[in-house]
Chain A
Amino acid sequence: MPKKPLLEFTDRGIYCAKGKFYIDPWKPVDDAVITHAHADHAYVGHKHYLAHHLSREVLYYRLGEIQLQTVEYGETVMKNGVEITLFPAGHVIGSAQIRVVSQGEVWVVSGDYKTENDGVCTPFEPVACHHFISECTFGMPVYQWKPQAQLFDDMNNWWRYNLENNLATVVVGYSLGKAQRIIQNLDMLNGKIFTHGVIENTNEALRRNGVILNPTVRITAESVKEEVRKGIIIAPPSAVGSPWMRKFQPYSFGYCSGWMAIRGAKRRRAADRGFVLSDHADWNGLISAIDATGCEKVYLTHGYTASFTRYLNDIGFDAHEVHTLYGGEEEVVEAPLQPSPREREQEESEVQVSPTGGDLEGASLSEANEGGTI
């Protein structure tokens, strides 16, 4: 009889029976190891959490009073004889791949990751393993990212152009990850960076955690409209089309997402500018990352799982499609029109809007009011 695998896929999440812990579970459990603080990976309701140091303050801010243990990359924690070590995933600040080892059998759970060094979070590091559990949000060959330097050149030029033409500049990206990456790459000689409340809350949590970010100014009821219009405004996806955003008219608004690579998705978004900026690995990044682990088996959890799995098998990997609640094709394709459930859940949890469940309309209409009015 074949022995039970070290990690298995259950209806609560990825489970290690031997170590009695879950990784990124979506239903309440006793012991949860968290790859990163995005809402579809870090759910509320677990008894104990383990995550990276730099996820600490964001987790407290988002989940409230939780029992949390944090560790450094490379540091090992033992649970019932099973070894757990975190390695950088390069996705957002504090994001980690989880390595699980027992009796010489090595598994790695990637969580979400990107292979490009964004200069903000610790860069992705391939970890040798037998079994690799990978995301594949952008697992189609049409997704190939440009180097970010080129992208931010475009963004800074666009900001300057707007300034010359008396247009306010609004950049939209989700609040943990995209926002900080933008903030750290803007040309501060152009002007000040103003943030929507949802974004600034996350910035503050990160600063409490010791992360040094460029100075930002929270937009509040006291903000002077003309001052704000001379800077750049960073807003979450839920602010698009809201009265909050309309106050800064006339403006040009740029949307940052990997989905902007496709013209149709960009047109649906009706953004003035689509910046193809993603915290996920592109097609080549995914394949090189999987290859670098030297794994015997690879499991694809979310994204274009069916075709990516088939392709990996075609080129000689032993690849398997698994079902998780980290969002599959269903969720991701909706992203261009409105925040993906991931972004949405995140924003909703931040502004304490009650979850809309399967109702897709609710989210696009919900307004992000936390930033207050001006």
Chain B
Amino acid sequence: MKAFAQLFLSLDETNKTNEKVRILKEYFNCVPDTDKMHMLALFTGRSPKRQINSTLFKLWALEALQLPAWLFEESYHVVGDLAETIALLFPQNTEQSSSKTLTEWIAEINALATYTEEDKKHWLQYSWSILDTQERFVFNKLMTGSFRVGVSQNLVVKAVAEIANLDAAVLTHRIMGSWKPEEYTFAQLIQPKQDSEDISRPYPFFLAYPIQETSVVQKSVEDLQAALGDASEWQAEWKWDGIRAQLIKRDGQLFIWSRGEDLSTDKFPELHPFMKDLPDGTVLDGEILSFRNGLPLPFNILQTRIGRKNLTKKILEDSPVSLIAYDCLEFNGEDIRYKTQSERRGILDGLHRDNAYPEIFNISPLITFGSWDELSDIRGQSREMIAEGIMLKRKNATYQVGRRRGDWWKWKIDPLSIDAVMIYAQKGHGRRADLYTDYTFAVWDGDKLVPFAKAYSGLTDAEINKVDYFVKRNTLEKFGPVRTVKPELVFEIGFEGINKSTRHKSGVALRFPRILRWRHDKPKEEADSIETLKALLGDNNNL
């Protein structure tokens, strides 16, 4: 655990990619193989199952610390992270500390499943007492399942690839899917050829790079021509707003993986009949969306069934899903990612033609366009298509691994926007701990301000400092961590979509709200009204 805690600390202390890879390699070279696999599992989002819920976790910390609950809460707001707060509140403990390995700790954590509550408590409080501050922090992260590191999976893979002398794309593929660090060994991971393939294993997703635009600076047709070349080399599709997924049929078995590497086969029973009708050894890439009468529905309809444990009959009726497929990665058991976009598209068309469920198995229609100019016009219709914009794929490109610049681009439409007044502020988390960075915005309803959205992102560090400075000097009231501030600052808030909502005071819910810019030029009286906001609801909410 010492090595793992040090790894975490060292990674925190550098922003340089090469340095991070060096630190990762150093870690891999000094810990046992089982620790390597546990580390890989943790760094790729495979945390151990949570054994103690956060209420008990906090309660037992408070009991051991003998601090008043309010002071614990205030400490949390200063630090902005529960695991770190608890780590810091205990005494430094510089002398003794445990020499257990990461593997041993995780085994102990998993063994808690059979413990009584009293035994769990003793184990937890004892564990805190034998770890130093940094180890305690990492330990708390393991326990609370909120394991996020400032290092991408790509870098971890790069480090392993360099040590094992393997291709990074091959390794990326080998760490996909549902493996357990207790069963998958490091030797298996890095052997030159893998014989026993896990039949559920998905391929790494190929992700598009955004064509960078803001509401102020747009790309011209000339820019596109210069950056992408001739329009005829490109295939264009709508960019659908659903759940990116990979659908696998191998040995008569079905697997559905979402982008976050969650196995979600059971969550989409509507897709099973068409998948059963696919030939064995087929892997499709596409978007799962709610559909009705052959038309996609807005994302918020799909949202109602995400995260539900039980899919009731009502949910299935209200929010039926279909697939819009856009790629084929495996055909007749052969990995065809090396084929060109056009060749793969041809295979996909064939699968679609032969399938008995064309209303469930849709394929993403290709947009016909003769020039960038024409495509730019077509892009203007995205909102009517319930699409987020346009996807561009180079016709002769292979299917690659991860986010790559060059062959796949997403060209989103401008977000909707509204000018709003900041009325509440709250301190942020992580890098923004102890700074007021989370704001609530309001629009005018007569002479009152109605809150309608929260946004965290979009300002520069310098702007955040200025807003923070303003908040601290213009607080009207404090409710726990939230401060009511003098309504004065106006911001342009951008969002991807807007829907009616009965749960919000304003009557609307926004999708992906964020701050586009600070309107220094606008007094609060000139912010938008609730009527303007509701006018953006448009027609698609009468469904």
**A contacts, CB < 8 Å to B:** 140-144, 146-147, 150, 261-268, 270-274, 304, 307, 310-311, 314, 329-330, 333-334, 336-338, 358, 360-361, 364
**Most chain-A Cβ atoms within 10 A of its Cβ — which of B12, B68, B150, B434?**
B434
Q: Which A-chain residue is minimally distant from B71 (CB atoms)?
A: A311
Q: Please report the C-alpha to C-alpha distance between residue A310 and residue B91 in the assembled complex, in whole angstroms.
A: 22
B420-439 near A? 1/0 per residue, CB < 8 Å: 00000000111111110000
Q: Are A361 and B462 in contact (CB under 8 A)?
A: yes
Q: Which B-chain residue is minimally distant from A261 (CB atoms)?
A: B88
Q: Are A360 and B472 in contact (CB under 8 A)?
A: no
Residues in A with CB closer than 8 Å to B91 are 144
B66-87 near A? 1/0 per residue, CB < 8 Å: 0110110011001111001100
Residues in A with CB closer than 8 Å to B261 are none
Q: Are A264 and B462 in contact (CB under 8 A)?
A: no
Q: Please report the C-alpha to C-alpha distance between residue A361 and residue B460 in the assembled complex, in whole angstroms.
A: 12
User: Is the C-beta of B183 less than 8 angstroms from some C-beta in chain A?
Assistant: no
Q: Are B78 and A262 in contact (CB under 8 A)?
A: yes
Q: Are A334 and B94 in contact (CB under 8 A)?
A: no
Known: A261-B88, A264-B80, A264-B434. A330 touches B473 (CB 8 A): yes
Q: Closest 4 CB pairs between A and B?
A: A264-B433, A142-B88, A330-B472, A267-B431
23 A–B contacts, CB within 8 A, in A order: A140-B74, A140-B78, A146-B94, A150-B94, A262-B79, A262-B88, A263-B12, A263-B79, A263-B81, A264-B430, A267-B12, A272-B14, A307-B74, A311-B71, A314-B68, A329-B472, A330-B472, A330-B473, A333-B435, A334-B469, A337-B435, A337-B465, A360-B465
Residues in A with CB closer than 8 Å to B85 are 142
Residues in A with CB closer than 8 Å to B465 are 334, 337-338, 360-361
Q: Please report the C-alpha to C-alpha distance between residue A360 and residue B462 in the assembled complex, in whole angstroms.
A: 8
8 Å CB contact of A262 from B67, B70, B433, B462: B433
User: Is the C-beta of B353 less than 8 angstroms from some C-beta in chain A?
Assistant: no
User: Is the C-beta of B15 less than 8 angstroms from some C-beta in chain A?
Assistant: yes
Q: Are A264 and B429 in contact (CB under 8 A)?
A: yes
Q: Which A-chain residue is minimally distant from B471 (CB atoms)?
A: A330
Given contacts A142-B89, A268-B431, 8 further A-B contacts (CB under 8 A): A141-B75, A144-B91, A263-B79, A264-B81, A307-B71, A310-B71, A334-B468, A337-B465
Q: Please report the C-alpha to C-alpha distance between residue A206 and residue B102 in the assembled complex, in whole angstroms.
A: 50
Residues in A with CB closer than 8 Å to B68 are 311, 314
Total contacts A-B at CB 8 Å: 96
Q: Please report the C-alpha to C-alpha distance between residue A311 and residue B72 in the assembled complex, in whole angstroms.
A: 11
Q: Please report the C-alpha to C-alpha distance between residue A361 and residue B466 in the assembled complex, in whole angstroms.
A: 8
Residues in B with CB closer than 8 Å to A273 are 13
Q: Are A265 and B433 in contact (CB under 8 A)?
A: yes
Q: Is the interface of B mostly helix, strand, loop or mixed?
A: helix
User: Is the C-beta of B118 less than 8 angstroms from some C-beta in chain A?
Assistant: no
Query: In the assembled complex, how far is the CB of residue A362 from the closest CB belonging to chain B, in whole angstroms?
Result: 10
Q: Which A-chain residue is minimally distant from B469 (CB atoms)?
A: A360
Residues in A with CB closer than 8 Å to B12 are 263, 266-267
Query: In the assembled complex, how far is the CB of residue B22 from the closest CB belonging to chain A, in whole angstroms?
Result: 10
Query: In the assembled complex, how far is the CB of residue A35 from the closest CB belonging to chain B, in whole angstroms?
Result: 25
Q: Please report the C-alpha to C-alpha distance between residue A272 and residue B81 in the assembled complex, in whole angstroms.
A: 21
Residues in B with CB closer than 8 Å to A268 are 431-432, 435, 461
8 Å CB contact of A330 from B137, B150, B469: B469
Q: Please report the C-alpha to C-alpha distance between residue A310 and residue B78 in the assembled complex, in whole angstroms.
A: 16
Residues in B with CB closer than 8 Å to A330 are 469, 472-473
Q: Are B466 and A360 in contact (CB under 8 A)?
A: yes
User: Is the C-beta of B99 less than 8 angstroms from some C-beta in chain A?
Assistant: no
**Most chain-B Cβ atoms within 10 A of its Cβ — which of A150, A272, A333, A358?**
A333
Known: A267-B430, A273-B13, A360-B465. A146 touches B92 (CB 8 A): yes
**Most chain-B Cβ atoms within 10 A of its Cβ — which of A140, A266, A338, A360?**
A140
Query: In the assembled complex, how far is the CB of residue A136 from the closest CB belonging to chain B, in whole angstroms?
Result: 13
Q: Which A-chain residue is minimally distant from B150 (CB atoms)?
A: A267
Residues in B with CB closer than 8 Å to A311 are 68, 71
Residues in B with CB closer than 8 Å to A142 are 75, 78-79, 85, 88-89
Query: In the assembled complex, how far is the CB of residue A51 from the closest CB belonging to chain B, in whole angstroms?
Result: 31
Q: Please report the C-alpha to C-alpha distance between residue A361 and residue B85 in the assembled complex, in whole angstroms.
A: 30
Query: In the assembled complex, how far is the CB of residue B70 from the closest CB belonging to chain A, in whole angstroms?
Result: 8
Q: Please report the C-alpha to C-alpha distance between residue A274 and residue B91 in the assembled complex, in whole angstroms.
A: 20
Residues in A with CB closer than 8 Å to B468 are 333-334
B126-162 near A? 1/0 per residue, CB < 8 Å: 0000000000010000000000001000000000000
Residues in B with CB closer than 8 Å to A307 are 71, 74
Residues in A with CB closer than 8 Å to B15 are 270
Q: Please report the C-alpha to C-alpha distance between residue A333 and residue B78 in the assembled complex, in whole angstroms.
A: 9
Residues in B with CB closer than 8 Å to A274 are 13
Q: Which A-chain residue is minimally distant from B134 (CB atoms)?
A: A263
Query: In the assembled complex, how far is the CB of residue A200 from the closest CB belonging to chain B, in whole angstroms?
Result: 28
Q: Are B89 and A262 in contact (CB under 8 A)?
A: no
Q: Please report the C-alpha to C-alpha distance between residue A146 and residue B95 in the assembled complex, in whole angstroms.
A: 12
Q: Are B430 and A141 in contact (CB under 8 A)?
A: no
Q: Which A-chain residue is minimally distant from B429 (CB atoms)?
A: A264
Q: Please report the C-alpha to C-alpha distance between residue A295 and residue B1 in the assembled complex, in whole angstroms.
A: 45
Q: Please report the C-alpha to C-alpha distance between residue A254 and residue B334 in the assembled complex, in whole angstroms.
A: 53
Q: Please report the C-alpha to C-alpha distance between residue A124 and residue B518 in the assembled complex, in whole angstroms.
A: 48
Known: A270-B15, A311-B68, A329-B472. A264 touches B466 (CB 8 A): no
- B residues 32-85 with Cβ under 8 Å of A? 67-68, 70-71, 74-75, 78-81, 84-85
Q: Are A262 and B434 in contact (CB under 8 A)?
A: yes
Q: Which A-chain residue is minimally distant from B434 (CB atoms)?
A: A333
Query: In the assembled complex, how far is the CB of residue B489 from the closest CB belonging to chain A, in whole angstroms?
Result: 15
Q: Please report the C-alpha to C-alpha distance between residue A246 and residue B508 in the assembled complex, in whole angstroms.
A: 50
Query: In the assembled complex, how far is the CB of residue B541 from the closest CB belonging to chain A, in whole angstroms?
Result: 39
Query: In the assembled complex, how far is the CB of residue B137 from the closest CB belonging to chain A, in whole angstroms?
Result: 8
